[in-house]
Structure 1
């Protein structure tokens, strides 16, 4: 299958969600195995800078024109029932030959959130979309960074224009190591996990070229993620990478520290 061969060449943390959909739909998949528990969507928590630099093939802003449920064909990147979104692109942040500014494009996803499908995008609303190109199609899942444009922070909007991409080659976001404990939200499960070949075990987290990221801190405290919402891992003039400091980021971190002590 196209998605299988693509995932073998791609990054495992993105393909986990899409492969899950294939397994659930397969006649020999987990859903048909009497000894296996019910399986939902498991996704990593990654910083937007990781999506821009390493995970996504395309990142853009656009408006949903229409959506429809379809049965995908054998030559599609997805297998089984799926959703197709038609979007009008307004701004391209990570370019790919499949998309151009001001053009209508089709974006596909699996038709159930338990299979990591993105089912809740609304017609006439504008979204920031990160996605992957598989089998010649733009495909999205809950493992991608997708957010209504009106909820994108001012810092994220600024970083999309410059800081994220400009620091891809020089700075690396490294997740702090934890025992893998899933955090559930509705019918989806989010598991902090490092991108392939970028782990706290394989990299020196004290390196001057890395920024340590701990999604557990904010998740367990049930508060906004300071690094995701208000910072980027950037190269400073003294030659090392650090989280970008600004007033909102400092305020958020101070609140997180206070909650940790409470």
Structure 2
């Protein structure tokens, strides 16, 4: 009985906390697996924050000057600035000067790079060694979908999906599957979780 309660009640509490946080911030976006954040982004880079200042006609944006150190996905060229909303209530992201980040973002029609709480933005040093390697592999999984499982029962709707269960098994949004696994398409068109640690020697290993 206690195991059932731990399995089922915790995801509901986590989901309620997430919804309360979203309501307080008026910024509605569910967490994405890092691979899905990569696939949905226009630009994915690694960059160090140099400076930041409030800009815009109504001081409604923050412009961060950055030093780009790696381009994982995006158009040819180099980004020197990132824009975000000045307030978390409008999905603004707070970045720290001197910290190097892994950043997924979107391109505006004017070519400027923008990030929000709906993107995956993480200090580079906070990412696992395996996840840093998996970034190079995510492109191969962009034809797959990752389905979130926040309570049981849950399942996939097609062979081209992988079930993301970190909520249930790790008591964390970003657990083992987020940090160490990628959802990769197989030769028959189906998708499956692959363990990133195996990529160091023998390519990705099926989970």
User: Do Structure 1 and Structure 2 share a fold, with TM-score over 0.5?
Assistant: yes
Q: 1:135 to 1:218 in 2, by over 3 A?
A: farther
Quote the offset at 1:244 in angstroms.
Answer: 1.2
Quote the offset at 1:233 in angstroms.
Answer: 0.4
The equivalent of 2:67 in structure 1 is 88
Which of 122, 145, 153 is the aligned partner of 2:96?
122
The equivalent of 2:121 in structure 1 is 146
Which of 15, 31, 36 is the aligned partner of 1:50?
36
Quote the offset at 1:178 in angstroms.
Answer: 5.4
- 2 CA distance for matches of 1:38 and 1:153? 30
Which of 135, 138, 153 is the aligned partner of 1:164?
138
Aligned residues of 1:45 and 1:215 also touching (Cα < 8 A): no
Output one character per residue of 1:189-231: Cα deviation in whole Å (capped at 9) or x when no partner.
xxxxxxxxxxx8xxx8163322111353267x34752211111
Segments of structure 1 that go 5 or more residues without pairing to the other structure are: 1-19, 21-36, 73-78, 180-199, 249-262
After the TM superposition, which residues 1-262 of structure 1 pair with which residues of structure 2 at under 5 Å, given as runs? 39-53=25-39, 55-72=40-57, 80-97=59-76, 100=77, 103-119=78-94, 121-136=95-110, 137-161=112-136, 163-169=137-143, 171-176=144-149, 205=156, 207-217=158-168, 221-222=171-172, 224-236=174-186, 240-245=190-195
Aligned residues of 2:52 and 2:63 also touching (Cα < 8 A): yes
Aligned residues of 2:184 and 2:192 also touching (Cα < 8 A): yes
Q: Is the deviation greater in 204-213 or in 81-90?
A: 204-213
- 1 CA distance for matches of 2:164 and 2:187? 21
Segments of structure 2 that go 5 or more residues without pairing to the other structure are: 1-21, 199-207
The equivalent of 1:26 in structure 2 is none
The runs of at least 4 aligned residues of structure 1 exceeding 4 Å deviation read 236-239
Quote the offset at 1:92 in angstroms.
Answer: 0.8
- 2 CA distance for matches of 1:166 and 1:222? 26
Aligned residues of 1:218 and 1:224 also touching (Cα < 8 A): no
Corresponding residue pairs, total: 175
Aligned residues of 2:24 and 2:89 also touching (Cα < 8 A): no
- 1 CA distance for matches of 2:126 and 2:24? 33
Q: 1:209 to 1:134 in 2, by over 3 A?
A: same
Q: CA RMSD in A?
A: 2.9
Task: Describe the SS at the equivalent of 1:158.
Answer: helix
Q: 1:218 to 1:41 in 2, by over 3 A?
A: farther
